[in-house]
Structure 1
Amino acid sequence: MNSVQARRYAVAVIGATGMVGEAVLSLLAERDFPAGKIHALASARSFGEDVDYGGRSLPVGDLAAFDFAGVDLAIFAVPPAVAAEGIPRAVAAGSVAIDLSGQFADEADVPLVVPEANPEALADCGRRGVVASPGIVSALIPVLKPLHAAAGIVRLRLGLCQPVSAAGRGAVEKLARQTAALLSAQPVELAPDEIQAAFNVVPATLAEAAGDGPPPASRLAQDIRRVLGDAQIAIDASVMRVPVFFGYSCQVWVETREPIEPVTVSKLLGQAPGVALLSSSIRPTAVGHASGRDEVFVGTIRRDQAQACGLYLWVVADNLRKGSALNGVQIAEILIKDYI
């Protein structure tokens, strides 16, 4: 066993009581990450709670009082405002911070990384001591990268259906309460500006106005261009909140520079890391296929009938895993292998 394999690392998971933080802890244990010490941190209101880590209970510490000295990796699964305050503290103490919040994704000297596409960008992590992970884009890039490399994507249109869990545990609980009430023929009580989640589809602009909305279309476009390393790709995206607890579903229309046959696309995606290509007779769904899984599932690959170089694909993924936590853990694995 070489020295890299033998070394154990001190890891802090910030936001450990949230759904993404819980997924990070679960993945670290499942993937046998060489952690010598795991610090589970959250806000003061969660202090004293316990979280699960590979069958063990970890006490939750108070982020505000925590000293990051001696922590090798700090994974921030928190809202942007918390990351903005906490990440500089972690970096100043010598930790490398992995930002799952999007707070640092716009910083030019912070690498934005999806390991299946641009792991080499992690060589720049020493500039600021921060690496950004791009959320849902993490689940789209493993599909888009092989197509861009083979035929050159010139235009991309996305219709993203976002589950309520993307807005946190409170949104999941709200959908459950509203669904139970409506199925019991009871009225749903809403605050003056609140939008009903159950049995409803909410466009991004309205969800954003409610204060817990999905990432705007401009964010998706910006992150895709940056990770693929091509600022010229024309991208249009629409995002809607759907009454689903977990799992992203996305209609993807791709126009390529060179014509590419669906059979070739199937071959490329069948070999792509992190992608599960289903047969044409199986249509993947977020609940039936992606829930609890790390792969990005692809089905219904066909020509766009209105564009000679156009393709249509249907993509689903677990939003808590590959759409967030898994990408951060994969980044951590590469950091300890090649850069720390």
Structure 2
Amino acid sequence: MSQSLSIAIVGATGNIGEALVSLLEERDFPVKDLYLLASDESAGKSLSFRDRQVRVRALDAFDFKAAQLVFCAASAEVTREYLERIVAANCSLIDLSAALPLTQAPCLLPEAGELWLATQRPPFLLSSPTPAAVAVALVTQALRSLLRPRRIGVTAMLSASTLGRAGVRELARQTAELLNGRSFEPQGVDRQIAFNVLAQIGTPDEQGHARLEARLAAELQQLLGDAHLPIAATCAQVPVFFGDSLAVTLESDTPVDVAAITACLAEAPGLELAEEGDYPTVVGDALGQDVIQVGRIRQAVADPTQLNLWIASDNVRKGAALNAVQIAELLIKHYL
């Protein structure tokens, strides 16, 4: 990387924002100036970056003309509120909030290819896929020489950090109250999440699909290059602080070769295969890792054309922040 960029991170004090700061340092990204942006409540705090403390600035007062590349790691509402200012400042944007339509800000997984970027011109508007889409697309792309799915089924068991830092705090609060025998009123969620599993995250649409489920399906179709690929997605909230677990079914036209698929996944970049007879978990294997953990690879019980497998991933680091930084690395190497 021959040049350096001035970087702004919107939502810098959130889980993903802090992970972005850490990864920019770990991967020696060529940062000229780093602007950490957050709400007025968080302004004045500081985060460590390259042996110095960088002060967090108030988002509303920031002039985006000072930056060349912006990571949006706050809520979708915040991204939409500040999008016009970011675009007017001629900044490229990598959105991690799933705020923008994929027709406006296509999602990108660097390992899956980016040739279409060559037809675009900066400033770029790009989406980093949701963590579940990153995990499923990485596995599916790794198998493209062996299996072209005609249908994908995903049951995503998502951690409280899917709801941001507030979700983590709420799970901790509910857990503490219950362990101490006290009653409570849920805050930010519609019911108890501690010691419970919620069958949906957010309000469903007229067809019964939550926004996160519809987004997951649309992102997978775009990443896999098939706008008509049938995808069944269910996103459930589980009482885990960090890390996502996914049960995935890939349906092929022909019987799947489990031995060949296992060998392929064992060699695939960005993935780590559990030892035979074992399976990965988020706490024991995925958290803090830069790879997707895969295990329980098998044919379906009654259909040899279906491949079933299990995925565990650090949703904050690998699923969100790392992919966004990899997009930035791709942009600065070839397009900016």
Where do residues 1-340 of structure 1 align in structure 2 (5 Å cutoff)?
A: 5-104=1-100, 106-126=101-121, 129-136=124-131, 137-190=133-186, 194-204=190-200, 207-209=201-203, 215-340=211-336
Q: Give the aligned CA root-mean-square deviation in angstroms.
A: 2.1
**Offset from partner CA, 1:239-273 (integer Å, 9 cap, x none):** 11000000000000111123331111112212222
Is there any run of 5+ residues in structure 2 with no aligned partner, and where?
A: none
Query: Could you state the TM-score of these two structures normalised by the residue count of structure 1?
Result: 0.91
CA distance in 2, matches of 1:126, 1:33: 22
Aligned mates of 2:119, 2:223 — CA distance in 1: 14
Select between 300-309 and 187-196 the one with higher mean Cα deviation: 187-196
Q: Which amino acid aligns with 1:42?
A: A
The residue type paired with residue 24 of structure 1 is L
1:55 CA displacement: 4.4
**Is this contact kept in 1: 2:130–2:216, CA < 8 A?**
no
- Measured in 2, the distance between the counterparts of 1:274 and 1:187 equals 44
In structure 1, stretches of 5+ residues that fail to align are none
Q: Cα 1:68–1:124, aligned 2, differ >3 Å: closer, same or farther?
A: farther
Moved more, 267-276 or 289-298: 267-276
SS of match in other structure, 2:41 = helix
Q: Secondary structure at the match of 2:93?
A: strand
Q: How many residue pairs are counted as aligned between the two chains? A: 331
- TM-score of the pair, normalised by structure 2: 0.92
CA positional deviation for 1:15: 0.6
Query: Relative to structure 2, which stretch is displaced further, 258-267 or 283-292?
Result: 258-267
**How big is each residue's C-alpha offset from its partner over 1:151-183, in whole Å with a ceiling of 9 and x where there is no partner?**
210011111100011101111111112112222
Displacement after TM superposition at 1:149 (Å): 4.1
What's the % identity of the aligned pairs? 38
Paired residues of 1:16 and 1:40 also in contact (CA < 8 A): yes
